[in-house]
Amino acid sequence: MLVNLNHLFKQHNNYAIAGFNVYGYEDAVSVIKAAENLKEPVILMVNRDAENHIPLDIIGPMLISLAKKASVAVSVHLDHSICMKSIELAIQVGFSSVMFDGSQLSKEENIGLTRKVIALAHPHDVSVEAEIGSVGYSDPAVKAKWIYTEPEEALEFYQATGVDCLAVAVGTVHRMTAQTANIQFDRLKRIHEMVKVPLVIHGSTGVPDEDLKKLSASGVSKINIGTSLRMAFGKTLRQAMEDQPDEFDRIKLFQLPMQEVQRAAEQKMQAIRP
């Protein structure tokens, strides 16, 4: 069943929902299998790398079709977009949710453009995520600021936009390969107490398992995970190729990586739930 984030948050308000970055059919189908096995809702997210690899009007309908056939609730979400054209296209092809990432802009520009995206999205029942503060990247090739979210700023942003959910920077960093992020739970608690909006944590591959559980209790509704599944896929694909040096059929080579992505997604969802 395809639903937007507001629907997911309303139906599932006891702990956070996992959002996984997916890059094609193989990982998307594995994530949905994981969610169905655990009877959990899930969010499939298309980021800019995925969009550059497969145009939104190709990957969107494929993910939407998988979501509609799933036995659990699934949102199909455009992740970290800064491009109005992409956001318009995502809405047009039926994404149930979009993120406008104005974290690298001034507060005023971020507010103005987020409002514009909400005006485009809401008439189509598409939910909108935005970011205040800036979750940095461990990869030096990505030039992004590292700015912790101030509770007062989050409140001002929410009051000015009425956004459906808000990504905050409280100690996570994108693309970490080890679970060593140091979450500032005090900051998160102050934001949650001050701003009555579902909160989103990005860069959650780096969050230790015991802290994934604690996030829900601190007002987090959506936990974004990407690198962990990319590692699961890439490492097992390498293994499959080394183990079967004469095999050239990609469908056969993808079997092990797909199983491993499903296992990794299930492990994260189990770590999140209380």
Q: Which residues are catalytic?
A: 79
Q: How far is the CB of 226 from ligand G3H (least distance, A)?
A: 3
Q: Give the C-alpha separation, 230 to 250, whole Å.
A: 17
* Residue 225 binding ligand G3H, by CB under 6 A: yes
204 binds, among Zn ion, ligand G3H, none (CB under 5 to 8 A by kind): ligand G3H
Question: How many other C-beta atoms are found inside a 10 Å radius of the C-beta of residue 209?
Answer: 12
- Partner that binds at residue 21, options ligand G3H, Zn ion, none, CB closer than 5 to 8 Å by kind: ligand G3H
* Three-state helix/strand/coil letters over 175-215: CCCCCCCCCCHHHHHHHHHHCCCCEEECCHHHCCHHHHHHH
Q: Which two tokens stand for residue 74?
A: 């699934």
Using the contact rule CB under 6 A, the part of the chain among 1-9, 107-115, 168-176, 182-190 near ligand G3H is: 168-176
Applying CB under 6 A, which part among 49-57, 63-71, 86-94, 224-232 lies near ligand G3H?
A: 224-232
How many angstroms from the chain centroid is the CA of residue 85? Answer: 20
Q: Of 122, 175, 189, 190, which one interacts with ligand G3H (CB under 6 A)?
A: 175
Question: Counting contacts by CB under 6 A, is residue 133 touching ligand G3H?
Answer: no
The DSSP element (H or E) to which 203 belongs, if any, is none
d(CA 21, CA 218): 23
- Bridge-partner residues for 77, per DSSP? 45, 97
The reply on whether position 205 binds ligand G3H by CB under 6 A is: yes
Residues that bind Zn ion (CB under 5 A): 202
Burial letters for 140-160: b for 16+ Cβ neighbours within 10 Å, e otherwise? eeeebeeeebbbebbbebbee
Q: Is 131 a residue that touches ligand G3H (CB under 6 A)?
A: no
Q: Which residue from 226, 257, 260, 264 is in contact with ligand G3H, where contact means CB under 6 A?
A: 226
CA distance 170 to 218: 12
Q: Residue 32 CB, nearest distance to Zn ion (Å)?
A: 21
Q: What residues line the site for ligand G3H (CB under 6 A)?
A: 21, 79-80, 174-176, 202-206, 224-228
